[in-house]
Structure 1
């Protein structure tokens, strides 16, 4: 049973006290910490809480689908000389079940969709095409029950049937076969099927069909994963271009001093971290060498925000980057592009 009105720490304390599992949601944990997403620091804090209360989270908090349920369970006590086999290490593999399209009924329960829309083998072609037009779908699964899949009807299958001179009265006259993959299927394995067949169905452990994933869903997922990296790469390249040949080796070697036993040797700007780029720009004397007619404080503040986003991205945050963070990266790229274009003139 879920516990929507208790704080995450109250749930942990209750499980520790009663030794009975409680189901909840990842969002309950993030709300407890006052954040909206699972950055690596958030995952670290939640894992510390789990350890403190001697409980575990299944599936692992870091990799669980954000809108799905998680179960907080007491950590099994172990005898001396035995390993704790009940402790689950975070799953490092992206799964098909991490996609929204693989969780249509859960999204429906959360008020974020219409669930899995399907037709039966006896549905008319008019019914199927009307549904596809209404929902902007290219295909619909043909199902005779929550676990009974007969195939798929699509614009392609209809066109193929008509081109062969078939009469399409019901969807069974124009159906194609469809692959059904497990919810836990590794995402990169699933991509091969989806790109080849354009669409697959997703089944849970009880064989209930819970989602339909298309090539469009995969494209959107990979864009959301890749876009922040591409923006950050552009920003770093712009910064290196602006800083290039503006500083002496002594200017940049200030970063080799510190408490490290063996400081990293810095031979060029490419050896600096992003944070060190920001520190160069923050320094009024060094900023003068750039001869930029822009506000140093505003630029440094913007880049400090980029640095924080970069840390989350490079730690492979399990949740997609927020629209606000993505817009800040896009805004920064545009700023540097405008700046470097102006300097060329």
Structure 2
């Protein structure tokens, strides 16, 4: 049993048709019938022909989504449809791919579905599963955190049971004091380990903003605690150990961190992290910075499928066709990279020898370290389509592709786009409804002369302007003033937080204030 998300358009434009007709709709206007197209390469050819102005990475991304829609989604699988109402519908796939030639363009690629429930409140779904649903892709699988079983439970009207691997103990650490007490209670050879996500939740924080990082660092310093590796490194689901780094040395003259460096009592993930850290840095070097590293990408921490040195080229080709891969890493028995086999390298090897071996088709692969700055590798990924990721032992631990970057940066850009449209609509309404002298009245006197339009106002100034009863009446809006101002203030706080760098993505739940306010402004001021 598998679970998928199939969106109904970027703004839910196909939502009504999907629910009323009992279908999943893939969109992709202008693309013809895919019924008789069996392979990923053939779908890629069709996509490239339908969209000749698109680059190879966009074509590849769209090909992957359409291949899932046509071939990978199976009858009996669960499917989730996020709705504009901030609810979700859940159904069970009831048929194979169909092409409706007589339907309107954009409504032709369909899969039959039996909708089991259409009004699940997103707030009833735990944040990790909500975050998994937050991809910008139209068609994607929910494969993490026991998603399929949890979707099945929701479809039966049961509450979200949560992650099967959820750390119930971590959830009990509801405040910093409890964390300190737990670290102090534990024996030195049984350190507290938990995910960065659960660690941040102790402070009621979801993302690593600079101010939040500074607050947590100061709290840890005051109590003599340290995280290994630093909680600012890695993805939000990476594991860390919390140690009494400031405790005095034991009888042998060693610190808790030094004693634990080579221990086998920790989880493999934390053992690896501690080995990379080596030992507790001195006090002057403990400034923890938030950097956007390769390890911040989820795919950099997920072991890619591979072949071993000595496998046959047929094995590599079979895996690549079955999984739709463009390349495959070749590893030695220790898990270290010995090269990459790609369709291009296979073609070149076969030109020289029709019976070429895997070794003959293996070429040098691009390899980044988990701790590298991600920005340094964007050009390589753009040019080559991928980069493999290695850990501190130089063993392959992940693979970053152009599609991963597209999704990651698309997710990061979306909040800025929402806030920008909100500000543009506010500016237009204010310039249209208020004279310049009234606009200038809401800014400090020293700056008033530099205000030439609403474009010179800060986000907070709109709240000051519209809080005045006469100004609000001038808008002529038939909505509640207090609720609007509250939504505006919530969005202002969201915007201010957004302006501070964090390596963690904004979740769908955190986007709610901005998206709700934008939908309201679009209704009040429907001009494009």
Q: Which has the higher strand share?
A: 2
Contact 1:275 1:307 in 2 (8 A): yes
- Give the deviation of 1:321 after TM superposition: 0.3
What's the TM-score, normalizing by structure 2? 0.53
Which of 154, 163, 169 is the aligned partner of 1:5? 169
Q: Of the two structures, which has the highest relative contact order with CA contacts closer than 8 Å and spacing of 6 or more?
A: 1
- Give the deviation of 1:338 after TM superposition: 5.3
Contact 1:152 1:175 in 2 (8 A): yes
Structure 1 residue aligned with 2:147: none
> 2:518 & 2:287 partners in 1: Cα distance?
37
Mean alpha-carbon deviation: is it higher for 304-313 or for 126-135? 126-135
Structure 1 residue aligned with 2:462: 277
Structure 1, residues 277-305: CA drift from partner, whole Å, max 9, x if none?
13323433212222344443443343333
Structure 1 residue aligned with 2:257: none
Structure 2 residue aligned with 1:46: 216
1:318 matched to 2:503? The reply is yes
Mean alpha-carbon deviation: is it higher for 235-244 or for 145-154? 145-154
Aligned residues: 321
Contact 1:19 1:74 in 2 (8 A): no
Structure 2 residue aligned with 1:242: 429
1:85 matched to 2:255? The reply is no
- Give the deviation of 1:26 after TM superposition: 1.4
> 1:249 & 1:86 partners in 2: Cα distance?
53
The 5 A counterparts of 1:190-229 are 190-229=377-416
1:143 matched to 2:352? The reply is no
> 1:281 & 1:168 partners in 2: Cα distance?
76
Q: Secondary structure at the match of 1:237?
A: helix
Structure 2 residue aligned with 1:127: 315
Structure 1 residue aligned with 2:295: 97
In structure 2, the CA distance between the partners of 1:31 and 1:341, relative to structure 1 (3 Å rule), is: closer
Contact 2:367 2:390 in 1 (8 A): yes
- Give the deviation of 1:155 after TM superposition: 3.0
> 2:447 & 2:235 partners in 1: Cα distance?
39
Which of 214, 225, 241 is the aligned partner of 1:55? 225
- Give the deviation of 1:97 after TM superposition: 1.5
Structure 2 residue aligned with 1:66: 236
1:289 matched to 2:474? The reply is yes
List alignment gaps of at least 5 residues for structure 1: 105-114, 258-262
> 1:334 & 1:254 partners in 2: Cα distance?
26
Mean alpha-carbon deviation: is it higher for 14-23 or for 169-178? 14-23
- Give the deviation of 1:333 after TM superposition: 4.0
Contact 1:63 1:318 in 2 (8 A): no
Mean alpha-carbon deviation: is it higher for 28-37 or for 218-227? 28-37
Q: Secondary structure at the match of 2:441?
A: helix
Structure 1, residues 23-77: CA drift from partner, whole Å, max 9, x if none?
4321222332445444556435423431331223343334442111223334558
1:118 matched to 2:316? The reply is no
Structure 1 residue aligned with 2:131: none
In structure 2, the CA distance between the partners of 1:103 and 1:250, relative to structure 1 (3 Å rule), is: same
Q: Secondary structure at the match of 2:387?
A: strand
Q: Secondary structure at the match of 2:308?
A: coil
Q: Secondary structure at the match of 2:283?
A: coil
Q: Secondary structure at the match of 1:212?
A: strand
1:31 matched to 2:201? The reply is yes
- Give the deviation of 1:18 after TM superposition: 7.4
What's the TM-score, normalizing by structure 1? 0.78
- Give the deviation of 1:322 after TM superposition: 0.6
- Give me the CA root mean square deviation: 3.4
> 1:322 & 1:232 partners in 2: Cα distance?
15
Contact 2:210 2:290 in 1 (8 A): no
> 2:481 & 2:334 partners in 1: Cα distance?
60
Structure 2 residue aligned with 1:109: none
> 2:488 & 2:297 partners in 1: Cα distance?
31
Q: Secondary structure at the match of 1:281?
A: helix
Contact 2:232 2:290 in 1 (8 A): no
1:158 matched to 2:343? The reply is no
In structure 2, the CA distance between the partners of 1:13 and 1:168, relative to structure 1 (3 Å rule), is: farther
Mean alpha-carbon deviation: is it higher for 42-51 or for 327-336? 327-336
